[in-house]
Structure 1
Amino acid sequence: MKQMVGESSASKKGFTYYTIKWMVFFVGLVVLATGAAFMIKSSYGSATWDVLHLGLSTKTSWSIGLWVQIVGLVMIGLACLIDRTKPQIGSFINIILIGFFLDFMLSLPIYPSVMLWWESLIFLIGGICILGFGAGMYVATGLGAGPRDGMTLVLAKKTGLSIRLVRTLLEGTALLFGWLLGGPVAAGTFLSVFLIGPVMQASIGFWRKQMAKLDKQEEPEEVEMEPELKVNG
């Protein structure tokens, strides 16, 4: 007969487990926003969707972060309508916090007022790597996909097109509208298309291994108990 032991410690582990997962999720969002801010400040080109957010921001008095939230919430809503499903709470937390974190990172007085070409290049490459690493962190937790990820999967399922093609079409559409609105498109924008994916994939692989280790630690311990002996009176 097997019996679970340490029930109180198991429940405590459960709390610790989810606390760690949410911490990784939140830190991943901060890291992602930091990378996006670095790319924007580099003046060598922003990530594809930030071209759209910047373009919308230049046409209004609203901040980049607010447009990140608006566009993201619209995409989450459309994906749910198309797929007729309810969104994960993590998806809302994801897009709301990224908007706040991006505005905060852009407001910090840590960027040179004038950058030499090599300084801009460092901010660009560093931003791409940081953004990809942060994206991998939050995706690996499985607590809530970003709006672009959700829309990609829904459209791929409904149209029968490959995920890669759907994502490329979405990125291209965002880039086109962003450019038409006056968003900054430069060499770094196209460079990010090729580099963010590999960095993000490596980050996902690393953090999924960490989450797997956390899952194993969460498994309650089982011990073999001796069966009770019946004594005939």
Structure 2
Amino acid sequence: MKYEVRGSHKVKKGFAYYMIKWTVFLVGLLVLATGGAFMIKSAFGSATWDVLHIGLSTKTSWSIGVWVQIIGLFMIGLACIIDQSKPQIGSFINIILIGFFLDFMLSIPIYPSVMQWWESLLFLIGGICILGFGAGMYVATGLGAGPRDGMTMVLSKKSGLSIRLVRTLLEGTALLIGWLLGGPVAAGTFLSVFLIGPVMQASIGFWRKQLSRLDERDELVEAPMEPELKIHG
């Protein structure tokens, strides 16, 4: 007679892993919107796309956040048509929540009614850092690219142009249209072009590292099963 003891099995990633990842994604969107609101309230210049959103808001009865959602959904749909692909659910969650969060952060009474120049400068610099940090948080999760990121990648792939050039053209177009509509363009707008990127890159690196550590702790592992005894012979 031969005796054979079998088994081990794979354990899938736990529910807690995905909850933490989605929490980082959602908090990142709130942080990003907070930074955008700080920049708008500083009156020293808004982020490039917010110039467009504010310009459209001044010409209509819709809020800045609603225009964030409208422009974002339009860009997601257009990118999918060009690329003949389906969007991630995270992309829709991304743009819808940022619009709500931005309107909320602009409405709460936490800002001085009249700012000294140095207070406006603090709000501007703080807003740039907060926005970049929040953007890095949600991008690091990979749960859904923002509409501008998706459009940039699709146009770059289809046109053969570099990602940097395509992004610059998109940003410049949004800035020009926003300015023509009366959106606020100031020194802070151009400062944000140079500063948001490095802050966002550092944030992506930090959060990818944290999520990677979480992934390693929760990855598929060998786990013992109840021993199964088989008798041959």
TM range (shorter): over 0.9
The alignment partner of 2:14 has SS state of helix
* Residue 204 (structure 1) aligned with residue 209 (structure 2): no
Separation in structure 2 between the aligned mates of residue 158 and residue 194 of structure 1, nearest angstrom: 26
Residues 77 and 3 of structure 1: CA distance in aligned 2, closer, same or farther (over 3 Å): same
How much has 1:14 moved relative to structure 2?
2.0
How much has 1:231 moved relative to structure 2?
6.3
Separation in structure 2 between the aligned mates of residue 224 and residue 106 of structure 1, nearest angstrom: 54
How much has 1:2 moved relative to structure 2?
6.4
TM-score scaled by length of structure 1? 0.93
Separation in structure 2 between the aligned mates of residue 114 and residue 154 of structure 1, nearest angstrom: 43
TM-score scaled by length of structure 2? 0.93
Separation in structure 2 between the aligned mates of residue 141 and residue 231 of structure 1, nearest angstrom: 50
Query: What is the count of residue pairs matched by the alignment?
Result: 227
The alignment partner of 1:46 has SS state of coil
Identity of aligned residues (%): 80
The alignment partner of 1:106 has SS state of helix
Separation in structure 2 between the aligned mates of residue 231 and residue 79 of structure 1, nearest angstrom: 61
Which structure has more strand as a fraction of its residues? 2
Aligned to 2:69: 69
Aligned to 2:160: 160
Separation in structure 1 between the aligned mates of residue 42 and residue 206 of structure 2, nearest angstrom: 28
Aligned to 1:4: 9
Aligned to 2:195: 195
Separation in structure 2 between the aligned mates of residue 177 and residue 2 of structure 1, nearest angstrom: 65
Measured against aligned partners, the alpha-carbon deviations of 1:80-104 in whole angstroms (never above 9, x if no partner) come to 0000000000000000000000000
* Residue 133 (structure 1) aligned with residue 138 (structure 2): no
Aligned to 1:15: 15
How much has 1:227 moved relative to structure 2?
10
* Residue 104 (structure 1) aligned with residue 104 (structure 2): yes
**Runs of 5+ in structure 2 lacking a partner?**
1-5
The alignment partner of 2:91 has SS state of helix
* Residue 34 (structure 1) aligned with residue 39 (structure 2): no
Separation in structure 2 between the aligned mates of residue 85 and residue 229 of structure 1, nearest angstrom: 51
Separation in structure 2 between the aligned mates of residue 36 and residue 181 of structure 1, nearest angstrom: 19
